[in-house]
């Protein structure tokens, strides 16, 4: 498989372990990896998905850790 192979919503769902319905809501709200329609089917470029996952990981690592009792 090449870097820009296309993934269906079901394939993306399996990859990131989120329900298809959640991915549909995310797409409607403009969140998640960018997808597009090919003949009525929403697809995602694998390279875009991987970049989005990397960005999610980066953003998570930059969040301040929770410290109970910290002022």
For residue 49, is pLDDT > 70?
A: yes
For residue 69, is pLDDT > 80?
A: no
For the chain, give the percent of residues with pLDDT over 70.
87
As for how many domains the chain has, the answer is 1
Long-range contacts of 10-19 (CB under 8 A, 24+ apart): 12/44, 12/49, 15/49, 16/49, 16/53
Asked, for residue 55, whether it belongs to a domain, the answer is yes
pTM of the model: 0.79
Task: Calculate mean pLDDT across residues 45-71.
Answer: 85
Alpha-carbon radius of gyration of the chain: 15
Task: Calculate mean pLDDT across residues 39-44.
Answer: 96
Asked, for residue 57, whether it belongs to a domain, the answer is yes
Q: What is the CATH number of the domain that holds 39?
A: 1.10.1660
21 lies in which domain range? 6-62
Asked, for residue 1, whether it belongs to a domain, the answer is no
For residue 38, is pLDDT > 70?
A: yes
Asked, for residue 70, whether it belongs to a domain, the answer is no
For residue 63, is pLDDT > 90?
A: no
């Amino acid at each position: 498989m090449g870097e820009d192979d296309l993934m269906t919503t079901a394939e993306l769902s399996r990859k990131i372990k989120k329900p298809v319905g959640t991915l549909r809501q995310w797409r409607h709200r403009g969140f998640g990896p960018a997808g597009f329609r090919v003949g009525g089917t929403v697809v995602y470029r694998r390279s875009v998905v991987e970049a989005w996952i990397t960005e999610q990981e980066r953003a998570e690592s930059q969040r301040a850790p929770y410290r109970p009792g910290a002022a």
